[in-house]
Amino acid sequence: MPIRNDHYTYHVTWSEEDHEYVGLCAEFPSLSWLAKTPEAALKGIRNVVADVVKDLKENKEEIPEPIANKNYSGKFMVRVPPEVHRNLAIHAAEAGVSINRLVSARLSR
């Protein structure tokens, strides 16, 4: 029986290779479902995920936490080459903002 109110992150896209829509789930990247319509692809991947979650529960295995349920601090580290760091510092100074503000604005686009 499928989970009706799960919080997993689903995505449906066209697969040119398969000439069908493919349903995907970010928390279960190895799973997919092909179908003739986007609606059927979404329904299919949700059912597959529900079956996998049920199996994981029955076997007392770890179940991935939905991305939507996680809390994020708003901080992450990114390593860039020194010349990129320098260019960001220059652009930030010219704009009168911090590097963090500049990068955040660019990532938000």
pLDDT in tens, 43-86: 999 999 999 999 999 999 999 999 999 999 999 999 999 999 99
Answer yes or no: is pLDDT of 3 > 70: no
pLDDT of residue 5: 61
Rounded to two decimals, what is the model's pTM?
A: 0.74
Q: What is the pLDDT of residues 4-50, one digit of tens each?
A: 568 999 999 999 999 999 999 999 999 999 999 999 999 999 999 99
CB 29 within 8 A of CB 72: no
Q: Which of 53, 48, 41, 45 is nearest to 14 (CA)?
A: 41
Answer yes or no: is pLDDT of 1 > 50: no
Q: How far apart are the first and last CA of the chain?
A: 40
CA distances from 9 to 68, 84, 102, 108 (A): 7, 33, 29, 20
**CA-based diameter of the chain, in Å?**
58
